[in-house]
Every structure is written in C-alpha cells, then in structure tokens.
C-alpha cells in the first residue's frame, strides 16, 4: 500500500537525490550531484503476473566512476512479503539495465530500520543462492540535523532527517531547527519543504508539532518588516485569498447558482481578504451570483 511516507520519499529522492549523501559517504563515493541522476520507470511488472512497483528508481551516471541503478523504498513496518519483493526488484533491474543495483530503504522506526538491513537470503539447506542487503536510511544512518545553517546548505537531507528521526528523543529539537532553517528560503521553496516533511511525518505525533511550527515559525525577527517577512507574509496572504475564492465558487456551485465568466474572474482576481470574506458570507444566501457585489454596484450608481 502506498502511504504518505512513500510519497514524500519519492518526491525527495526523485527531485533532490542529493539527500542520498549518507549513502554515498558510506560507499566512499563523491557527494551526489543532481546532474548525475535521471529517473527510470519504477514499474517492474513482467507481462501479466502480480504487479510490482518500486517507489523510486534512479540511474546514477557520473562523468567518471561506476554507473549503477538506485531503487529507493520507504518502509514503515516489518514485512516479509516486501523483503521477497526487494529481491525481485534487484534481480529485475540488474537484468534489465545490465548494471549493479543499490537498494535503499528509508525507515522512520528504529526496529523496522534494523530489520530492513537484512540480510534476506534465498537458500536451500546450507546453500545460499541469493542475498539481498538494502542500505537503510534511518535513525542509525541519517544525521540528526539541529543546525539551521546545515538546513540552508542541504535542505533535502534536513527534510529527510526530520522524517526519519520523528520518533527519537531529539525529534522536537530537530523539527524546530529544520523549520527555522527552511524559512531562510523564498516562500514557495519554504512551502514545498514544509509540505514534504508534513507528508513524510504522516500520522506520527511529531506531525502535529510540525504543523504548529509551520504556523509560528515565519522569521527570526517577527514584526520588524524585514524583506523576507514581507515576501513570506505576502505569499501566505495570496494563498489564503485563493482558498477563500475557491470557497465562494464552491458555495455558489453547491447552491446551484450559475457563475458567469466575468463574476468568476472578479472573484478569483481579488486578493483583499476582507472583501472575500464579505462575498463568502453573501454566497450562502444570494439568489444570483452577481448579487455578491451589490454594495459596489450601488456605490457606482450613486457616483
């Protein structure tokens, strides 16, 4: 079953493979650079048997050095069936691309992370035919990011740290450091990473803590009118305006009222939260969509 943690893991490694830094360091390879990767199809289904699909599959092709395939899997609990699927993924990708395959498992839970390290053997009596040993990105291998400067330098690794250490005793300190570091970016970038972490935390208790940080951590100098604070608040205001516009249009639709194009454009083009709140209240009672603007029409006539 695809979970929110799977989705967050997929987005991080697909779009920011530099988060694989602990893996490359352990393998004595140069730090991963996004330009050296390209995404492959995660589908490992053969003709018409059981459907199998890895979370993320990447090809690592540096200008110099060994090329290989990375299969990244998020794992939230121990699952013997998944261990068998992992052996299949590795053998299938090895045969398809004729390259070595590195399987990486991402785990939040320490016991699941310990289990995922394997080895998982296919053996008959004393004879082992195949061994699968994933490299695990979990509490044991991903650094605890508690330095805001480190977050700015490696946001993908910081987001991964916040997710995999969500059950540790230092989870609150890690989340706070990551949140404060992420607000150093432009609002859209900050929003992206905040959402990645929120999705990755899924149903853990740390998720509620993270949501509070998302609301409260805006700037190191709140109320001082810094450039970042203005841009960040402007982005939040635009997001709230868009949400109110959608709510107005939804209310009109549910009530069966026709919404002419000029009315729709006026609603979606408005960024004044007070005006939008007034229009929303009216959208619950008006008999015609154009009646949302009754006061404005009267003022225009009077002038």
Predicted pLDDT of residue 48? 43
Token readout for 217 is: 């951590």
Residue closest to 190 by CA, chosen among 142, 236, 143, 238 = 236
pLDDT tens column, 92-143? 999 999 999 999 999 999 999 999 999 999 988 889 999 999 999 999 999 9
Q: Among 112-121, 152-161, 221-230, which stretch is predicted with the lowest mean pLDDT?
A: 221-230
pLDDT tens column, 49-105? 444 566 789 999 998 889 999 999 989 889 988 888 999 999 999 999 999 999 999
Predicted pLDDT of residue 9? 72
Question: Domain boundary residue among 185, 216, 247?
Answer: 216
Is residue 131 domain-shared with residue 9, that is, in the same domain? Answer: yes
- What is the rounded CA–CA span in Å between residue 121 and residue 128? 7
CB atoms within 10 A of CB 193: 23
CB atoms within 10 A of CB 161: 28
Is residue 163 domain-shared with residue 193, that is, in the same domain? Answer: yes
Collapsing DSSP to helix, strand or coil, 5 comes out as: helix
pTM over 0.75: no
Check if the beta carbon of residue 117 is closer than 8 Å to that of residue 134: yes
Instruction: For residue 224, name the pLDDT band (cuts at 50, 70, 90).
Output: low
Is residue 59 domain-shared with residue 123, that is, in the same domain? Answer: yes
Check if the beta carbon of residue 228 is closer than 8 Å to that of residue 185: no
114 is a domain residue: yes
53 is a domain residue: yes
Q: How many CA atoms lie within 13 A of 298 on its CB side?
A: 5
97 is a domain residue: yes
pLDDT tens column, 22-32? 999 998 899 89
Domain count, the chain: 3
Cβ contacts of 58 within 8 Å, gap of 6 or more: 13, 14, 17, 37, 38, 39, 40, 69, 70, 72
**Domain extent for 268:** 227-302
Is residue 234 domain-shared with residue 280, that is, in the same domain? Answer: yes
- What is the rounded CA–CA span in Å between residue 190 and residue 84? 38
């Amino acid at each position: 079953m695809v979970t929110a943690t799977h989705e967050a893991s997929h987005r991080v490694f697909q779009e920011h493979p530099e988060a694989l830094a602990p893996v490359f360091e352990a393998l004595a390879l140069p730090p991963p650079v996004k330009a050296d990767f390209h995404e492959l199809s995660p589908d490992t289904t053969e003709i018409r048997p059981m459907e199998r699909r890895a979370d993320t599959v990447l090809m690592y092709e540096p200008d110099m050095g060994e090329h290989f395939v990375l299969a990244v899997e998020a794992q939230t609990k121990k699952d013997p069936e998944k261990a068998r699927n992992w052996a299949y993924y590795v053998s299938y990708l090895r045969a398809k691309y004729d390259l070595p395959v590195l399987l990486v498992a991402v785990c939040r839970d320490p016991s699941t992370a310990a289990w995922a390290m394997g080895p998982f053997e296919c053996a008959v009596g004393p004879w082992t035919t195949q061994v699968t040993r994933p490299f695990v990105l979990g509490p044991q291998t991903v650094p605890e990011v508690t330095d805001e400067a480190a977050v700015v330098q490696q946001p993908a690794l910081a987001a991964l740290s916040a997710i995999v250490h969500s059950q540790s005793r230092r989870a609150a300190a890690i989340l706070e450091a990551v949140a404060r570091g992420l607000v150093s970016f432009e609002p859209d970038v900050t929003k992206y990473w905040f959402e990645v972490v929120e999705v990755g935390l899924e149903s853990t208790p740390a998720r509620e803590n993270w949501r509070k940080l998302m609301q409260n951590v805006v700037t190191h100098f709140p109320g001082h009118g810094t450039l970042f604070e203005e841009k960040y608040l402007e982005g939040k205001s635009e997001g709230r305006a868009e949400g109110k516009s959608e709510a107005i249009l939804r209310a009109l639709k549910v009530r069966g009222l026709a919404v002419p194009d000029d009315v729709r454009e006026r609603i979606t083009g408005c960024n004044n939260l007070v005006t939008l709140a007034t229009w929303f209240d009216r959208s619950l009672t008006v008999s015609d969509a154009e009646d949302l603007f009754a006061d404005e029409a009267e003022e225009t006539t009077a002038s």
